[in-house]
Amino acid sequence: MPDGISRRAFLAGTGAALAATSLGAFGFGALESAQAAAIRPFKLTGTIETRNTCPYCAVACGVILYAKPAAETRGKRSIMYIDGDPDHPTNRGTLCPKGAALLNFVGSPDRLTVPRYRAPGAKEFKEVSWDWALDRVARNFKEDRDKNLITTNAGGATVNRWITTGFLAASATTNEAAWLTYKVVRGMGVLAFDNQARV
Ligand code: SF4
């Protein structure tokens, strides 16, 4: 097989060439040209694949994101196709209609890509930096925990419960990241904790 050509592209190209040559042998020269012009390259050829998890529900189906290399999109890698991950044990390549429409969600102009904050009493949300948002979350965590952590129960046993703050984790994490999140959050004493997907 020639260097730089994938097996799939080679087979597609070989099939097209054989069909065109056969048509040419029967005198269909114009048809041969038309057919050759109509053949499009396989659209996922040359894309970069990234595995991820559908963000919608607790089933946590595996997906593959196909992106065009940055060189083809002026320096910005762009996702152009999303499909179910055939190697994922949960969905084996299938997606429900919601998951199958993920590309619309990724490319939606309404999608939030930066944190927003609405100050107490304010009517509008304003965009804030990630540093500002993370500092604010950390500060609020600390203040609330210092004030409300229950260290012992009525019988004097150590419990270290923190029940005035809850934590919700998202699905696009690996098992390992989810495990670490669980350890950190439970280590702080949070009882109200859930992970959106059962990864
Ligand atoms: S593809 Fe459908 S079933 Fe699977 S996680 Fe997404 S929303 Fe849930």
CB 76 within 8 A of CB 70: yes
Residue 100 Cα: closest atom of ligand 1: 1
- Domains of the chain, by residue range, sit at 7-38, 48-106, 149-195
CATH of span 48-106: 2.20.25.90
Give DSSP secondary structure letters for 41-59.
Answer: PPTTTTPEEEEEE-SSSTT
Q: What is the pLDDT along the chain (199 residues), one digit of tens a residue?
A: 455 555 555 545 445 455 555 556 666 777 777 887 888 888 888 899 999 989 888 888 999 999 988 766 667 778 999 999 999 999 999 999 999 999 998 888 898 889 999 999 999 999 999 999 999 999 999 999 999 999 999 999 999 999 999 998 877 677 788 888 889 999 999 999 987 766 5
Nearest-CA residue for ligand 1 atom 4 is 61
User: Of 59, 94, 105, which is best to mutate to test ligand 1, by the most ligand atoms within 8 angstroms of its C-beta?
Assistant: 59
Using a 6 Å cutoff on CB, does residue 100 contact ligand 1? no
Whole-prediction pTM: 0.63
Strand partners, 167: 193
**Ligand 1 centroid to 59 CA: how many Å?**
6
Using a 6 Å cutoff on CB, does residue 98 contact ligand 1? yes
Residue 84 Cα: closest atom of ligand 1: 1
Q: Is 161 helix (H, G, I), strand (E, B) or coil?
A: strand
Residue with tokens 């963000």, as numbered in its chain:
55
CB 81 within 8 A of CB 43: yes
CB 13 within 8 A of CB 21: no
Residue 95 Cα: closest atom of ligand 1: 1
Residue 94 Cα: closest atom of ligand 1: 1
CB 115 within 8 A of CB 124: no
Residue 63 Cα: closest atom of ligand 1: 1
CB 115 within 8 A of CB 126: no
Nearest-CA residue for ligand 1 atom 1 is 99
Within its chain, how far is the Cα of 44 from the centroid? Answer: 18
- CB atoms near residue 58 (< 10 Å): 11
pLDDT of residue 197: 67
**Ligand 1 centroid to 132 CA: how many Å?**
33
Strand partners, 34: none
Joined together, the tokens standing for residue 72 give 């083809």
